[in-house]
A = this chain, B = another copy of it.
Amino acid sequence: MRCDVVAIGTELLLGQITDTNSQWIGEQLAAVGVDSLLQVKVGDNLGRMESVLRRVLADADAVIVCGGLGPTHDDVTREAIAAVMGAELQPDEQVADVIREMFASRGRRMAENNLRQALVPVGASIIAQTRGTAPGLICPVTIDGAQKVVYAVPGVPHEMKDMVLRAVLPDLLSRGGEDAAVIVSRTLRTWGESESGLNERLDPLIARLDEVGNPTLAFNASGWEGLKVRLTAKAATEADAQVLLATWEAEARALIGDLVFGVDDETMEAVVLQLLRERGWSLGLAESVTGGLVAGRITNVAGASEVFRGSIVCYASEVKFQVLGVPVGPVVSEAAAAAMARGAQRVLSSHVALSLTGVAGPAEQDGMPVGTLCIGIAIGDEVHTRTVRMPGQRDQMRQMSVITALDLLRRTLLAS
């Protein structure tokens, strides 16, 4: 199966917004083993849209069209698809009712043009709208005697993603002869190994997955979000897909389990907060090199206030000495990191404290090279320290320091 992607919107061509929709769709198609060989951005222009659809359908079995389903006169995706199908657009009364109800339930007046969203090419079927007012469309077309299909989904990312996972991928796979009504992914989030290192460790598993073809495995490097390993399974039922995933997740964990800190949407900071919450422990920070980034990450988790007390961002050395009681001397050292953690525990009245001191550059400091990170962790009366070397320029060094220090705290908590 080959499914190409067409993203609709003049604002995409003008560079006013980034087309992340086709990237996401490309990732999903690859995960279920469907080729996507051409992805096109085209403006809100009926003639050009129709011509692009015809060209893409000459080569591909299917195309996902993303955007242009809104209520205004420049939303012409429905018209373009109808032209390619050689079909009329007709109002679908059920869709129209849903749209009317959505407006009524929000107590808003519905402008008549919203009913444009209820127009459906004759012969197309509906992907029910659950989040927005526009339904998606599944539109069979015959091109040079071959049966092909155009899927239309909204350009709003969360509406698009919902419809692609719920309806488009299963329909696409069933047209390819696969009875895969359900597609489920699981992402193992890791830290502590490079992408090539992860790849090497997973090599035996990847070889076996290549043979069976389902689930698929993909890597995704997400900077200070960690390295992600994603398994995607297709099956006839949700239960079958979950069994497949569970089996292969166990195999993957046997190879890289020590690196996995979370699953799916679990961030490192959420995992650390949860470990603290389970133990009934509060957290304080003392940040020098990261200058508040760790605190910023932690406080982005809703509910952080149950556990997190605060951070002493001690950028100037005198703040380390005067506020945290660090002994006057070199401030990029494990001894300084230990004193910072102790000081944060005391000043912030926390049971646990994490400290970071290091050299982000441009110049070395205290005889330590750029990229040096000293981490201190105080838990009750214990203190642990570690020195690591971070890669990269200032910004990257600081971001990598955040996740590295949080991962060390996570491992230390697990061992406590």
Contacts and interface: CB of A to CB of B under 8 A. Distances in A.
A234 interface: no
A42 interface: yes
Interface stretch (A80-88, A119-127, A136-144, A306-314): A306-314
Interface residues of A, number: 66
Contact of A296 (B13, B292, B323): B292
Contacts of A24: 15
A305 interface: yes
Contact of A308 (B23, B290, B310, B315): B315
A384 interface: no
A404 B71 CA distance: 34
Contacts of A45: 37
B37 A13 contact: yes
Contacts of A48: 37-38
A19 B19 contact: yes
B299 A315 contact: yes
Given A295-B313, A311-B311, A349-B322, A52 B23 contact: no
B15 A30 contact: yes
B40 A13 contact: no
Contact of A302 (B26, B293, B362): B362
Contact of A292 (B17, B311, B318): B311
A287 interface: yes
A294 B12 CA distance: 32
A15 B41 contact: no
A27 to B, nearest CB: 3
A349 B45 CA distance: 61
A301 to B, nearest CB: 9
A300 interface: yes
B14 A26 contact: yes
B23 A15 contact: yes
Interface in A9-38: 12-20, 22-28, 30, 36-38
21 contacts: A13-B36, A13-B38, A15-B27, A18-B18, A37-B43, A38-B40, A38-B41, A38-B42, A38-B48, A39-B40, A287-B292, A291-B300, A292-B293, A295-B315, A300-B394, A300-B398, A302-B394, A304-B315, A305-B316, A310-B319, A319-B348
